[in-house]
Structure 1
Amino acid sequence: MIKTRGYAALNGDQPLQPFDFERRAPAPQDVQIDILYCGVCHSDLHTARNEWGNTLFPSVPGHEIVGRVAAIGSAVDKFQVGDLVGVGCMIDSCQHCPSCAEGLEQFCDNGFTGTYNGSAFGGQENTYGGYANNIVVRQEFVLKISHTDNLAAVAPLLCAGITTYSPLRHWSVGPGQKVGVVGLGGLGHMGVKIARAMGAQVVLITTSPDKSADGLRLGAEEVIISTDPQQMAAARNSLDFILNTVAAPHDLDALLALLKRDGTMTLVGAPADPHPAPDVFSLIFKRRKLAGSLIGGIQETQEMLDFCAEHGIVSDIELIPMEGINDAYERMLQGDVRYRFVIDMASLANN
């Protein structure tokens, strides 16, 4: 067993605190990783506070992991000690259902195993995530990182990056298309960057006028303030695709009205409470589609990392020490981060 130091939520009502535990020693197909950086996702907060009602305590969050290979199992053939690698939102799946066979492990018919808060296949133990100094993962779920610098800002690509890349890729976003991105947070700012790099004309849709300048800096060519009825009316029937990243319940009809005939709006934000039901007439009269998307499979996540490295894309981050995580959660709730917190795991040595 490997001694591990991390931070955990012991229940949903207490702040995260230092937590010592053990990882398994590497099996033949395992990669042991020393974690350098871990991004902070809103899902971490939901889980730590049991807002989805499914948390297995103690819970060590974190699924945006960048680190270096410290050891490998005897059968590992994809990685070597010293390699720079990443781990995203899942660390296992059944590997034999139709979805897994198609490289869509995120839709595993038997349920993928989350990097944290998920019972491991073949066992009942809780999985512990990246708010820790190390992790052990099967090589099939470890990713190569080819970025050469700003590694802390690479970490959020393992969730925010693939969550936005996957639907943009699936719905073939590219040159000649006008694409709306709703919300400029951890997901939205990645959506703007990636859609622009794919060649689309990007329109940021936000409730916050003070984010207009940032939206343009990040790659949007236009900004629509969704609380302004005149701006929304002027944009009706103008967008080919909308990537909706907002993780709070809101009216979908006003956004659907911005789509052209046959346009699609895809939801990637996960609100704690449901959105109001959309008006069916918003869909049927223009043959519009309302869809959803999760993360991406391992192959697509690797594709995303390579795409971002090629285009120089990383997240806009604020680097924090591990002991700052509880303050970071409170600031996330206030929207006080532009646009992703990342934990410097070297700070664990101080705890």
Structure 2
Amino acid sequence: MATVNAYAAQSEKSPLAPYDIERRALRPDDVAIDIDYCGVCHTDIHFAENDWGMTEFPVVPGHEIIGRVTAVGEKVSAHKVGDLVGVGCMVDSCRGCPACESGLEQMCKEGFVATYNGEDRHDHSITFGGYSDHIVVSDRFVVKVPAKLDPASASPLLCAGITTYSPLKHYGVKPGDKVGVIGMGGLGHMGVKFAKALGAEVTIFTRSESKVAEAKKQGADHVIVSTDDKQMEAAAETFNFLLDTVPVQHDLNPYINCLTFDGVHIIVGLLDPVEPALQAGGLVMRRRVLAGSLIGGMPETQEVLDFCAEHDITCDVEMIDIQDINTAYQRMKKGDVKYRFVIDMKSLRA
């Protein structure tokens, strides 16, 4: 066991503050990592503030982790001391169900072990995340960071990146397809970059006319202001795919009607009930599909990093010190970040 520095929320009402945590001694398949950078995901806020009613306090958030290997267990051969590596949203799974055997650990029949606020399958301790200076993770859940990638801007690829890349690949987006990306936050701007790299013609849907220029800057071929009824009517039966990154309840029906026959609307941001109600006729009469997608398995997480290195794709980030994390949370709630905060973990060691 080793005591390491971290930032934790002690309750749903308390700000994140310095907190010492224990990291386990190396198991045979473990990799020990000194953390250099950790992205800040909106999920971190949900857990810190117990929005979903399942947080085990104290909680140390952070599941977009980049760092250097400092030690490996006796059975580890894929990683060595000094390697630049990443850890995303998962640190374990049952490893034996059909999903795990297919490299889809995020769909584990027994549920994957989350990087933080999960229960370790061996000692039943609660996992602590990347708002810390060190972490120990099974080698199966550690990915290699290509040398071509900037480590800081690569960290959000381990959540925002894989969340948007995986469904585009799974549903077969190809050159010439028309892809609409709904929402222009941390997930949405990555969805645009991936869809473009896959050869699609990409349109961003935004509620605000003021975001049109920024959407074009992000690489969108077209922009539709979804609050403009005429623009939405003109888009009817246009798109092969819609990637819906909006994390709050919103009316899906106008977007469903923008799909061609056999079009696919993929939800990656919404976990709440669909409200208002979905008009099923919009699906039935055009054989459209309403689908969901959750991050990606470990082989695909490695794939997205390699894909980004090949296509020069990075996440747009704003660097912060760990001491500014509570201010960053407040800014995120207001949408005041383009498009992802990343913590420079040197600030924790200062």
Give the TM-score range, shorter chain: over 0.9
- Residue of structure 2 equivalent to 1:33: 33
Residue 281 in structure 1 maps to residue 290 in structure 2: no
User: What is the SS of the residue equivalent to 1:181?
Assistant: strand
* C-alpha contact (below 8 Å) 2:133/2:349 kept by paired residues: no
In the other structure, the counterpart of 1:43 is 43
Instruction: Determine the C-alpha separation between the residues in 1 that align with 2:21 and 2:274.
Output: 36
Secondary structure at 1:199's aligned position in 2?
Answer: coil
Q: Distance in 2 between matches of 1:265 and 1:176?
A: 17
What are the Cα deviations for residues 69-116 of structure 1, in whole angstroms up to 9, with x where unaligned?
A: 011111110011000000000000000001101111000001100000
Alpha-carbon displacement from aligned partner over 1:213-239 (angstroms, at most 9, x marks no partner): 222122210000001111111101000
| Alignment correspondent of 1:66 | 66
Q: Can you give the 5+ residue segments of structure 2 that lack an aligned partner in the other structure?
A: none
Match of 1:21, SS state, is strand
Matches within 5 A, 1:209-228: 209-228=209-228
Structure-1 separation of matches of 2:38 and 2:250: 30
Q: Is the 8 A contact 1:181 1:243 kept in 2?
A: yes
2:33–2:68 CA contact under 8 A, matched in 1: yes
Q: 1:209 and 1:324 mapped to 2: Cα distance?
A: 31
Residues 51 and 272, structure 1, Cα contact 8 Å, conserved in 2: no
The equivalent of 2:98 in structure 1 is: 98
CA offsets 1:172-217 (integer angstroms, 9 cap, x no match)? 0110100000000010000000110011110001112222222212
Shift of 1:274: 4.7
> What is the one-letter code of the residue matched to 1:348?
L
* Structure-2 residue corresponding to 1:76: 76
Distance 1:5 1:148 in 2: 30
> 1:323 is matched by which residue type in structure 2?
Q
RMSD, aligned α-carbons = 1.0
| 3-state SS of 1:193 partner | helix
CA-to-partner distance for each residue in 1:105-140, whole Å, 9 max, x for gaps?
000001100000100112321000000001000001
> Alignment partner of 2:232: what SS?
helix
Aligned: 1:297 with 2:300 = no
* Aligned-residue offset at 1:273: 6.1
| Secondary structure at 1:38 match in 2 | strand
**TM-score normalised over the length of structure 1:** 0.98
Q: In structure 2, how many angstroms separate the alpha carbons of the residues matched to 1:184 and 1:307?
A: 21
Bigger shift: residues 126-135 or 276-285: 276-285
Instruction: State the match for 2:185 in structure 1.
Output: 185
1:310 aligned residue: 310
CA contact (8 A) 2:149 2:309 kept: no
Task: State the SS of the aligned residue for 1:62.
Answer: coil
Match of 2:167? 167
Does residue 7 in structure 1 map to residue 16 in structure 2? Answer: no
Distance 1:286 1:163, change over 3 A: same
Per-residue deviation at 1:149?
A: 4.8
> Structure 1, residues 319-348: CA drift from partner, whole Å, max 9, x if none?
000011111111111000000000000000
Q: Which residue of 2 aligns with 1:263?
A: 263
Q: Distance in 2 between matches of 1:257 and 1:4?
A: 52
Query: Could you tell me which residue of structure 2 aligns to residue 158 of structure 1?
Result: 158
Whether the 8 Å contact between 1:248 and 1:273 is mirrored in structure 2 is: no
Aligned residue number for residue 144 of structure 2: 144
SS at match of 2:15: coil
Q: How many residues align?
A: 350
Deviations 1:131-178 (A, max 9, x none): 000100000100000043531100000000000000000000110100
Could you say what secondary structure the match of 1:266 adopts? strand
Structure 2 distance, partners of 1:284, 1:55, is 39
After superposition, residues 225-236 of structure 1 pair within 5 angstroms as 225-236=225-236
Q: Distance in 1 between matches of 2:109 and 2:256?
A: 31
Shift of residue 271, structure 1, vs aligned partner:
4.5
TM-score (norm 2): 0.98
Determine whether 1:320 maps to 2:306: no
Query: Which runs of 5 or more structure 1 residues have no equivalent in the other structure?
Result: none
Query: Which secondary structure state, in structure 2, belongs to the residue aligned with residue 43 of structure 1?
Result: helix
For residues 75 and 348 of structure 1, what CA distance do their matches in structure 2 show?
31
For 1:318, what is the secondary structure of its paired residue?
A: strand
- C-alpha separation between the residues in 2 aligned to 1:167 and 1:220? 19
Q: CA deviation at 1:276?
A: 2.5
CA distance in 2, matches of 1:160, 1:305: 12
Task: Give the equivalent residue in structure 1 for 2:16.
Answer: 16
CA distance in 1, matches of 2:81, 2:162: 26
- 1:147 and 1:265 map into 2 onto residues whose CA distance is 35
Secondary structure of 1:188's counterpart equals helix
